[in-house]
Amino acid sequence: DAKTTQPPSMDCAEGRAANLPCNHSTISGNEYVYWYRQIHSQGPQYIIHGLKNNETNEMASLIITEDRKSSTLILPHATLRDTAVYYCIVTNDYKLSFGAGTTVTVRA
Amino acid sequence: DTAVSQTPKYLVTQMGNDKSIKCEQNLGHDTMYWYKQDSKKFLKIMFSYNNKELIINETVPNRFSPKSPDKAHLNLHINSLELGDSAVYFCASSQVRGLEQFFGPGTRLTVL
């Protein structure tokens, strides 16, 4: 019942921006886009969320297209510690449904 | 000053046994959750409690029973453990339903 589609993996060079795409073409008007990540052997960590507008915090930026059918998570300056599985989740309640995510490997 | 803590971190037990996993959060949150991450790494919600009341109970066998003695604690009791229960169990909490959820470090349960 996944509502999102993400590439299974991507590599990124340390110090460069990492752009993680997510498709959510069936998103409804009251559903938010959440991003979490899970570093190996740790619990998931909240990154950012948004509804319509682009959002930025100390960790990342979230760009949501005008039709809301896709979004991009931007890690502005990737470090080795950003190596993790990144999950894009669409929901309007507290039931977070994690898919397979994108495995991001940051290389020195 | 750990936000969400779980004990134990590892749990190895025999089939048929009964075990408990404890979770505590010191964030003052009203809502707590239990998630299960299976061998394929998919993370699925099992239960959610808001102010000590059950608000989500996904299709989980009734061998699993959450207990919330107070807002800061949500324990998971598992009876008659089966091989398929082997997984990593994560506890989480949030200020209000949904929003930013803080996860614990996980408990790796292995049933032999």
What pLDDT does residue B28 have? 92
The CA distance from B26 to A94, in Å, is 20
Using DSSP, state whether B91 is helix, strand or coil: strand
Whether residue B97 is predicted with pLDDT greater than 90 in this model: the reply is: no
User: Are the beta carbons of B103 and A85 separated by less than 8 Å?
Assistant: no
From residue A10, give the alpha-carbon distance in Å to each of A102, A105, B58: 7, 6, 33
B39 touches B108 (CB < 8 A):
no
Residue range B22-70, pLDDT digits in tens: 999 999 998 999 999 988 888 999 988 887 788 777 778 899 999 998 8
The residues, any chain, with a CB within 8 Å of residue B19's CB and separated by 6 or more, are: B11, B13, B77, B78, B81, B109
Residue range B56-66, pLDDT digits in tens: 777 788 999 99
Please give the backbone phi and psi of residue B99, each rounded to the nearest 5 degrees, phi first.
Answer: 5, -145
How much of chain B exceeds pLDDT 70, in percent?
96
Write the residue in A43, A87, A94 that is nearest to B94 by C-beta.
A94
What pLDDT does residue A2 have? 57
Beta strands A9-13; A102-107: pairing state: parallel
How much of chain A exceeds pLDDT 70, in percent?
98
From residue B6, give the alpha-carbon distance in Å to each of A54, B12, B73, B92, B107: 35, 15, 10, 10, 7
User: Are the beta carbons of A43 and B42 separated by less than 8 Å?
Assistant: no
Write the residue in B55, B56, B105 that is nearest to A43 by C-beta.
B105
Distance from CA of A70 to the nearest CA of B (A): 20
* Mutation for A interface: B38, B43, B107, most A CBs within 10 A: B43
Residue B69: closest CA among B55, B49, B92: B49
Using DSSP, state whether B67 is helix, strand or coil: strand
| Alpha-carbon A31 to chain mean position | 15
Beta strands B19-25; B10-13: pairing state: unpaired
